[in-house]
Chains A and B, each alone.
Chain A
Amino acid sequence: MRSLILSALAALALPLTAHAQPIAAADLDALFETEPRVEVNLRGSLLRLAAAATAESEPETAAMIEGLDGVTVRIYPAPATERALAVDRLSSIAGRFESDGWLTLVRIRALPDDVEDEGDVWVFVRDRGDVFGGLAVMLYDADEENALFVHIDGEISPDDIGALTRRFGDVDIDYNREDDDE
Protein backbone atom coordinates (compact mmCIF):
# COMPACT_ATOMS: atom_id res chain seq x y z
CA MET A 1 0.00 0.00 0.00
CA ARG A 2 2.66 2.50 1.09
CA SER A 3 4.80 1.91 -1.92
CA LEU A 4 2.05 1.65 -4.45
CA ILE A 5 1.82 4.33 -7.09
CA LEU A 6 -0.84 4.36 -9.72
CA SER A 7 -0.33 6.32 -12.87
CA ALA A 8 -3.86 6.70 -14.08
CA LEU A 9 -3.96 8.74 -17.28
CA ALA A 10 -7.64 8.19 -17.50
CA ALA A 11 -10.18 9.87 -19.71
CA LEU A 12 -12.15 12.75 -18.25
CA ALA A 13 -15.06 12.46 -20.63
CA LEU A 14 -17.25 10.56 -18.21
CA PRO A 15 -21.02 10.58 -18.27
CA LEU A 16 -23.14 11.89 -15.46
CA THR A 17 -24.38 9.19 -13.18
CA ALA A 18 -26.76 8.66 -10.34
CA HIS A 19 -26.11 9.90 -6.82
CA ALA A 20 -25.45 6.51 -5.33
CA GLN A 21 -24.79 5.75 -1.69
CA PRO A 22 -21.50 4.04 -0.86
CA ILE A 23 -21.29 0.70 0.84
CA ALA A 24 -21.75 0.93 4.59
CA ALA A 25 -18.71 0.35 6.76
CA ALA A 26 -20.61 -2.25 8.75
CA ASP A 27 -21.22 -4.16 5.53
CA LEU A 28 -17.50 -4.17 4.89
CA ASP A 29 -16.77 -5.70 8.28
CA ALA A 30 -19.39 -8.35 7.66
CA LEU A 31 -18.02 -9.12 4.22
CA PHE A 32 -14.48 -9.63 5.47
CA GLU A 33 -15.73 -11.51 8.53
CA THR A 34 -13.22 -9.79 10.76
CA GLU A 35 -12.55 -6.49 12.37
CA PRO A 36 -10.26 -4.19 10.45
CA ARG A 37 -6.65 -3.69 11.38
CA VAL A 38 -7.07 -0.02 10.65
CA GLU A 39 -10.30 1.91 10.83
CA VAL A 40 -10.61 5.66 10.31
CA ASN A 41 -13.86 7.61 10.25
CA LEU A 42 -13.60 11.32 9.57
CA ARG A 43 -16.58 13.59 9.21
CA GLY A 44 -18.03 16.85 10.45
CA SER A 45 -15.95 18.37 13.15
CA LEU A 46 -12.84 16.32 12.47
CA LEU A 47 -12.70 17.41 8.86
CA ARG A 48 -13.23 21.02 9.90
CA LEU A 49 -10.46 20.53 12.41
CA ALA A 50 -8.16 19.09 9.77
CA ALA A 51 -8.87 22.06 7.55
CA ALA A 52 -8.36 24.55 10.37
CA ALA A 53 -5.16 22.85 11.49
CA THR A 54 -3.64 23.22 8.07
CA ALA A 55 -5.17 26.54 7.06
CA GLU A 56 -2.06 28.61 7.66
CA SER A 57 0.67 26.22 6.61
CA GLU A 58 -1.18 24.46 3.79
CA PRO A 59 -4.02 26.67 2.57
CA GLU A 60 -4.58 24.62 -0.59
CA THR A 61 -4.88 21.45 1.44
CA ALA A 62 -7.28 23.16 3.84
CA ALA A 63 -9.50 24.30 0.98
CA MET A 64 -9.46 20.77 -0.43
CA ILE A 65 -10.51 19.23 2.88
CA GLU A 66 -13.26 21.77 3.50
CA GLY A 67 -15.16 20.42 0.51
CA LEU A 68 -15.34 16.92 1.95
CA ASP A 69 -18.26 15.33 3.78
CA GLY A 70 -16.53 12.23 5.07
CA VAL A 71 -13.52 9.97 4.85
CA THR A 72 -13.65 6.26 5.64
CA VAL A 73 -10.61 3.99 5.68
CA ARG A 74 -10.60 0.26 6.38
CA ILE A 75 -7.65 -2.11 6.17
CA TYR A 76 -8.30 -5.81 6.66
CA PRO A 77 -5.68 -8.49 7.11
CA ALA A 78 -5.50 -10.70 4.04
CA PRO A 79 -2.55 -13.10 4.00
CA ALA A 80 -1.22 -14.27 0.67
CA THR A 81 -2.81 -17.67 1.18
CA GLU A 82 -6.23 -15.98 1.25
CA ARG A 83 -5.57 -13.55 -1.56
CA ALA A 84 -8.09 -15.07 -3.94
CA LEU A 85 -10.79 -14.77 -1.30
CA ALA A 86 -9.85 -11.18 -0.57
CA VAL A 87 -9.91 -10.26 -4.26
CA ASP A 88 -13.29 -11.97 -4.61
CA ARG A 89 -14.59 -9.88 -1.74
CA LEU A 90 -13.23 -6.69 -3.23
CA SER A 91 -14.68 -7.66 -6.60
CA SER A 92 -18.10 -8.06 -5.05
CA ILE A 93 -17.81 -4.58 -3.53
CA ALA A 94 -16.70 -3.28 -6.92
CA GLY A 95 -19.83 -4.75 -8.41
CA ARG A 96 -21.94 -2.85 -5.91
CA PHE A 97 -20.23 0.40 -6.81
CA GLU A 98 -20.76 -0.23 -10.50
CA SER A 99 -24.38 -1.16 -10.05
CA ASP A 100 -24.87 2.00 -7.99
CA GLY A 101 -23.67 4.08 -10.90
CA TRP A 102 -20.09 4.76 -9.87
CA LEU A 103 -17.54 4.91 -12.65
CA THR A 104 -14.56 2.62 -12.75
CA LEU A 105 -11.65 4.98 -13.21
CA VAL A 106 -8.90 2.41 -12.78
CA ARG A 107 -8.85 -1.37 -12.59
CA ILE A 108 -5.58 -3.23 -12.39
CA ARG A 109 -5.63 -7.00 -12.35
CA ALA A 110 -2.50 -8.70 -11.11
CA LEU A 111 -1.27 -11.38 -13.46
CA PRO A 112 -0.41 -14.85 -12.20
CA ASP A 113 3.31 -15.31 -11.51
CA ASP A 114 3.98 -11.64 -12.18
CA VAL A 115 7.32 -10.92 -10.51
CA GLU A 116 6.40 -7.27 -10.23
CA ASP A 117 3.02 -8.03 -8.75
CA GLU A 118 1.84 -5.11 -6.63
CA GLY A 119 -1.70 -6.23 -6.16
CA ASP A 120 -5.18 -5.71 -7.51
CA VAL A 121 -6.51 -2.16 -7.70
CA TRP A 122 -9.89 -0.49 -8.18
CA VAL A 123 -10.56 3.25 -8.30
CA PHE A 124 -14.14 4.48 -8.54
CA VAL A 125 -15.49 8.00 -8.84
CA ARG A 126 -18.94 9.50 -8.67
CA ASP A 127 -19.02 11.99 -11.48
CA ARG A 128 -20.65 15.40 -11.16
CA GLY A 129 -19.49 17.22 -14.22
CA ASP A 130 -16.32 19.17 -13.60
CA VAL A 131 -15.78 17.64 -10.19
CA PHE A 132 -16.22 14.27 -8.56
CA GLY A 133 -18.88 13.70 -5.95
CA GLY A 134 -16.99 10.88 -4.32
CA LEU A 135 -13.94 8.69 -4.65
CA ALA A 136 -13.34 5.10 -3.63
CA VAL A 137 -10.05 3.21 -3.75
CA MET A 138 -9.77 -0.50 -3.10
CA LEU A 139 -6.70 -2.62 -3.39
CA TYR A 140 -5.23 -5.91 -2.43
CA ASP A 141 -1.72 -5.05 -1.27
CA ALA A 142 0.52 -8.01 -2.02
CA ASP A 143 3.45 -6.56 -0.08
CA GLU A 144 1.55 -5.75 3.09
CA GLU A 145 -0.93 -8.63 2.68
CA ASN A 146 -3.85 -6.32 3.34
CA ALA A 147 -7.10 -5.45 1.68
CA LEU A 148 -7.62 -1.68 1.71
CA PHE A 149 -10.79 0.32 1.26
CA VAL A 150 -10.81 4.12 1.13
CA HIS A 151 -13.96 6.12 0.53
CA ILE A 152 -13.86 9.91 0.32
CA ASP A 153 -17.26 11.57 0.16
CA GLY A 154 -17.75 15.14 -0.95
CA GLU A 155 -16.76 17.47 -3.72
CA ILE A 156 -13.39 16.51 -5.13
CA SER A 157 -11.43 18.22 -7.86
CA PRO A 158 -9.67 15.75 -10.16
CA ASP A 159 -6.44 17.57 -9.36
CA ASP A 160 -6.84 16.75 -5.67
CA ILE A 161 -7.29 13.01 -5.94
CA GLY A 162 -3.63 12.19 -5.40
CA ALA A 163 -3.23 14.50 -2.42
CA LEU A 164 -6.41 13.23 -0.76
CA THR A 165 -5.63 9.54 -1.06
CA ARG A 166 -2.08 10.14 0.12
CA ARG A 167 -3.28 12.02 3.15
CA PHE A 168 -6.17 9.83 4.21
CA GLY A 169 -5.27 6.38 2.95
CA ASP A 170 -1.53 6.56 2.37
CA VAL A 171 -2.20 5.51 -1.19
CA ASP A 172 -0.33 7.22 -3.99
CA ILE A 173 -2.38 7.92 -7.07
CA ASP A 174 -1.02 10.08 -9.81
CA TYR A 175 -4.08 11.12 -11.72
CA ASN A 176 -4.12 12.77 -15.11
CA ARG A 177 -0.44 13.61 -15.16
CA GLU A 178 0.61 14.77 -18.57
CA ASP A 179 4.28 14.70 -17.65
CA ASP A 180 4.38 11.21 -16.27
CA ASP A 181 7.79 9.62 -16.54
CA GLU A 182 7.99 6.97 -19.20
Chain B
Amino acid sequence: MSSHALPLFLALALAGSGCISTEMGRIKRDLQADIERDGTATVGKGYAMSLGRGTIGTSRFLGRLLAPKSTEPARRLGEHVRRVQVAQYSIEGDFDALALRPPAALNRYTDDGWYPLATVRDEDGAVWVLYNERPEDFAITDLLTVVAGDDGLVVTKISGDLTALVHDAVALGLEQDLFGDALGETGVLGSEPQSDDAPVREDTTIDASP
Protein backbone atom coordinates (compact mmCIF):
# COMPACT_ATOMS: atom_id res chain seq x y z
CA MET B 1 0.00 0.00 0.00
CA SER B 2 1.44 3.30 -1.04
CA SER B 3 1.90 5.73 1.79
CA HIS B 4 0.35 8.38 -0.45
CA ALA B 5 -2.97 6.60 -0.73
CA LEU B 6 -4.42 7.84 2.55
CA PRO B 7 -3.71 11.55 2.06
CA LEU B 8 -4.90 11.29 -1.54
CA PHE B 9 -8.06 9.55 -0.46
CA LEU B 10 -8.74 12.13 2.22
CA ALA B 11 -7.96 14.96 -0.18
CA LEU B 12 -10.44 13.63 -2.71
CA ALA B 13 -13.02 13.28 0.00
CA LEU B 14 -12.38 16.80 1.24
CA ALA B 15 -12.67 18.20 -2.26
CA GLY B 16 -16.22 16.97 -2.37
CA SER B 17 -17.23 18.96 0.64
CA GLY B 18 -18.18 22.60 0.68
CA CYS B 19 -19.02 23.03 4.33
CA ILE B 20 -17.27 25.90 6.05
CA SER B 21 -16.40 25.59 9.69
CA THR B 22 -16.74 28.71 11.78
CA GLU B 23 -15.12 26.74 14.58
CA MET B 24 -11.90 26.61 12.60
CA GLY B 25 -12.19 30.30 11.82
CA ARG B 26 -12.18 31.24 15.49
CA ILE B 27 -8.93 29.45 16.06
CA LYS B 28 -7.45 31.06 12.98
CA ARG B 29 -8.40 34.56 14.11
CA ASP B 30 -6.83 34.01 17.53
CA LEU B 31 -3.53 32.89 16.09
CA GLN B 32 -3.57 35.40 13.26
CA ALA B 33 -3.27 38.27 15.70
CA ASP B 34 -0.14 36.77 17.25
CA ILE B 35 1.43 35.77 13.95
CA GLU B 36 0.92 39.22 12.46
CA ARG B 37 1.83 41.12 15.63
CA ASP B 38 5.41 41.90 14.58
CA GLY B 39 4.41 42.89 11.08
CA THR B 40 6.74 40.37 9.46
CA ALA B 41 4.15 37.78 8.55
CA THR B 42 0.58 37.66 7.36
CA VAL B 43 -2.01 34.94 7.42
CA GLY B 44 -3.59 34.59 4.00
CA LYS B 45 -6.76 33.05 2.75
CA GLY B 46 -7.40 29.37 2.90
CA TYR B 47 -10.21 26.92 3.23
CA ALA B 48 -12.19 25.27 5.96
CA MET B 49 -14.13 22.10 5.30
CA SER B 50 -16.25 19.72 7.25
CA LEU B 51 -16.96 16.10 6.37
CA GLY B 52 -19.85 14.30 7.97
CA ARG B 53 -20.68 10.64 8.16
CA GLY B 54 -22.55 10.80 4.85
CA THR B 55 -19.66 12.28 2.91
CA ILE B 56 -17.20 9.91 4.50
CA GLY B 57 -19.48 6.98 3.70
CA THR B 58 -19.82 8.12 0.11
CA SER B 59 -16.06 8.48 -0.19
CA ARG B 60 -15.57 4.99 1.16
CA PHE B 61 -18.14 3.68 -1.33
CA LEU B 62 -16.47 5.44 -4.25
CA GLY B 63 -13.08 4.26 -3.09
CA ARG B 64 -14.27 0.69 -2.99
CA LEU B 65 -15.85 1.11 -6.41
CA LEU B 66 -13.00 2.86 -8.21
CA ALA B 67 -9.84 1.67 -6.49
CA PRO B 68 -10.74 -1.12 -4.09
CA LYS B 69 -7.22 -2.32 -3.44
CA SER B 70 -5.35 0.94 -2.96
CA THR B 71 -8.07 2.54 -0.85
CA GLU B 72 -8.71 -0.46 1.37
CA PRO B 73 -6.63 0.78 4.32
CA ALA B 74 -8.18 4.24 4.15
CA ARG B 75 -11.67 2.77 3.92
CA ARG B 76 -10.93 0.59 6.93
CA LEU B 77 -9.85 3.62 8.92
CA GLY B 78 -12.84 5.57 7.67
CA GLU B 79 -15.15 3.15 9.45
CA HIS B 80 -14.15 4.70 12.75
CA VAL B 81 -14.49 8.35 11.71
CA ARG B 82 -17.73 10.20 12.28
CA ARG B 83 -16.62 13.67 11.31
CA VAL B 84 -13.54 15.40 9.96
CA GLN B 85 -12.98 19.15 9.94
CA VAL B 86 -9.94 20.63 8.26
CA ALA B 87 -8.87 24.22 7.75
CA GLN B 88 -5.67 25.43 6.15
CA TYR B 89 -4.45 28.98 5.69
CA SER B 90 -1.25 30.20 4.14
CA ILE B 91 1.29 32.15 6.18
CA GLU B 92 3.52 34.57 4.27
CA GLY B 93 6.71 35.75 5.94
CA ASP B 94 8.51 34.82 9.12
CA PHE B 95 7.07 34.82 12.61
CA ASP B 96 8.28 33.90 16.06
CA ALA B 97 6.51 30.66 16.86
CA LEU B 98 7.95 30.64 20.36
CA ALA B 99 5.96 33.78 21.09
CA LEU B 100 2.64 32.33 19.97
CA ARG B 101 0.14 32.07 22.76
CA PRO B 102 -2.39 29.24 22.92
CA PRO B 103 -5.43 30.25 20.87
CA ALA B 104 -8.10 31.55 23.22
CA ALA B 105 -10.65 29.51 21.30
CA LEU B 106 -9.06 26.38 22.73
CA ASN B 107 -10.33 27.43 26.16
CA ARG B 108 -13.83 26.60 24.97
CA TYR B 109 -12.72 23.04 24.45
CA THR B 110 -11.07 22.65 27.82
CA ASP B 111 -14.11 24.26 29.43
CA ASP B 112 -16.16 21.54 27.76
CA GLY B 113 -14.03 18.83 29.27
CA TRP B 114 -11.37 18.36 26.60
CA TYR B 115 -7.84 17.61 27.76
CA PRO B 116 -4.67 19.31 26.58
CA LEU B 117 -2.53 16.49 25.29
CA ALA B 118 0.50 18.30 24.00
CA THR B 119 1.97 21.66 23.15
CA VAL B 120 5.20 22.01 21.21
CA ARG B 121 6.73 25.36 20.31
CA ASP B 122 10.09 25.96 18.69
CA GLU B 123 11.62 28.32 16.15
CA ASP B 124 9.97 26.50 13.27
CA GLY B 125 6.42 26.32 14.48
CA ALA B 126 3.88 25.61 17.16
CA VAL B 127 1.53 22.69 17.71
CA TRP B 128 -1.38 22.25 20.11
CA VAL B 129 -3.18 18.94 20.51
CA LEU B 130 -6.34 18.42 22.56
CA TYR B 131 -8.52 15.38 22.92
CA ASN B 132 -11.85 14.39 24.34
CA GLU B 133 -12.82 11.05 25.79
CA ARG B 134 -15.98 9.19 26.64
CA PRO B 135 -16.12 8.96 30.45
CA GLU B 136 -17.80 5.58 30.66
CA ASP B 137 -15.13 3.62 28.82
CA PHE B 138 -12.34 6.19 28.35
CA ALA B 139 -12.54 5.84 24.58
CA ILE B 140 -11.07 8.75 22.69
CA THR B 141 -13.83 10.44 20.75
CA ASP B 142 -12.27 13.66 19.43
CA LEU B 143 -8.83 14.93 18.54
CA LEU B 144 -8.03 18.56 17.71
CA THR B 145 -4.68 19.55 16.27
CA VAL B 146 -3.56 23.12 15.56
CA VAL B 147 -0.31 23.62 13.69
CA ALA B 148 1.31 26.94 12.77
CA GLY B 149 4.50 26.57 10.79
CA ASP B 150 6.17 26.61 7.41
CA ASP B 151 3.21 24.88 5.81
CA GLY B 152 0.83 27.51 7.07
CA LEU B 153 -1.84 27.36 9.70
CA VAL B 154 -3.60 23.99 9.76
CA VAL B 155 -6.45 23.05 12.07
CA THR B 156 -7.74 19.47 12.07
CA LYS B 157 -10.52 18.01 14.14
CA ILE B 158 -11.39 14.33 13.91
CA SER B 159 -14.35 12.77 15.72
CA GLY B 160 -15.34 9.16 16.03
CA ASP B 161 -13.99 6.04 17.66
CA LEU B 162 -10.42 7.24 17.63
CA THR B 163 -9.16 4.51 19.89
CA ALA B 164 -10.06 1.99 17.22
CA LEU B 165 -8.80 4.38 14.54
CA VAL B 166 -5.37 4.66 16.11
CA HIS B 167 -5.24 0.93 16.73
CA ASP B 168 -6.00 0.19 13.08
CA ALA B 169 -3.70 2.97 11.85
CA VAL B 170 -0.82 1.45 13.79
CA ALA B 171 -1.68 -2.02 12.52
CA LEU B 172 -1.66 -0.69 8.96
CA GLY B 173 1.48 1.37 9.48
CA LEU B 174 -0.40 4.56 8.60
CA GLU B 175 -0.20 6.39 11.90
CA GLN B 176 2.30 8.90 10.55
CA ASP B 177 0.12 9.66 7.51
CA LEU B 178 -2.88 10.19 9.72
CA PHE B 179 -1.50 11.90 12.79
CA GLY B 180 1.96 13.06 11.75
CA ASP B 181 3.97 13.77 14.85
CA ALA B 182 0.94 14.84 16.88
CA LEU B 183 0.82 11.61 18.87
CA GLY B 184 4.29 10.33 18.13
CA GLU B 185 5.97 13.22 19.92
CA THR B 186 4.04 12.44 23.08
CA GLY B 187 5.08 8.80 23.22
CA VAL B 188 1.59 7.50 22.49
CA LEU B 189 2.71 6.22 19.11
CA GLY B 190 6.36 6.26 19.97
CA SER B 191 8.70 3.78 18.43
CA GLU B 192 10.07 0.98 20.51
CA PRO B 193 12.42 2.38 23.12
CA GLN B 194 16.04 1.63 22.54
CA SER B 195 17.28 -1.29 24.48
CA ASP B 196 20.13 -0.73 26.81
CA ASP B 197 22.32 -2.58 24.36
CA ALA B 198 21.33 -0.49 21.37
CA PRO B 199 23.93 1.78 19.82
CA VAL B 200 24.06 5.15 21.51
CA ARG B 201 23.57 8.17 19.31
CA GLU B 202 26.49 9.98 20.82
CA ASP B 203 28.75 9.04 23.65
CA THR B 204 28.09 11.86 26.05
CA THR B 205 27.59 9.76 29.14
CA ILE B 206 27.49 11.37 32.50
CA ASP B 207 28.57 8.65 34.84
CA ALA B 208 26.79 8.91 38.15
CA SER B 209 27.95 5.58 39.43
CA PRO B 210 29.59 5.41 42.83
Enumerate chain A interface residues (CB-CB to B < 8 A).
2-10, 35-46, 48-50, 52-54, 56-58, 61, 71, 73, 77, 106, 108, 116, 118, 121, 162-164, 166-168, 172, 174, 177, 180
Contacts and interface: CB of A to CB of B under 8 A. Distances in A.
Given A42-B188, A54-B192, A167-B187, 17 more contacts: A3-B204, A4-B206, A8-B208, A37-B120, A40-B186, A42-B187, A46-B131, A46-B140, A48-B138, A49-B167, A50-B190, A53-B188, A118-B204, A166-B194, A167-B190, A172-B194, A172-B200
B98 A162 contact: no
Interface in B88-143: 98, 101-102, 115-122, 131, 133, 138-140
Interface in B176-210: 185-190, 192-194, 196, 200-202, 204-210
- 4 tightest A-B CB contacts, nearest first: A9-B209, A45-B138, A39-B119, A163-B193
Nearest to B138: A45
A50 B121 CA distance: 23
Nearest to B210: A9
B151 to A, nearest CB: 20
B196 A45 contact: no
A106 B187 CA distance: 24
A44 to B, nearest CB: 5
Contacts of B170: 53-54, 57
A4 B209 contact: no
Interface residues of B, number: 42
B210 A40 contact: no
A35 B63 CA distance: 44
A5 B166 contact: no
A49 B163 contact: yes
B139 A45 contact: yes
Contacts of B15: none
Nearest to B165: A49
Interface of B: 98, 101-102, 115-122, 131, 133, 138-140, 163, 166-167, 170-171, 175, 185-190, 192-194, 196, 200-202, 204-210
Nearest to B190: A167
14 contacts: A5-B200, A5-B204, A6-B206, A40-B118, A42-B117, A45-B131, A45-B133, A46-B188, A52-B166, A53-B166, A53-B170, A77-B98, A167-B193, A172-B194
Contacts of A40: 117-118, 185-187
B209 A50 contact: no
Contacts of A167: 187, 190, 193
Contacts of A5: 200, 204-206
A118 B208 CA distance: 12
Contact of B192 (A7, A8, A57): A57
B208 A35 contact: no
Contact of A7 (B122, B167, B209): B209
Contacts of B117: 40-42, 46
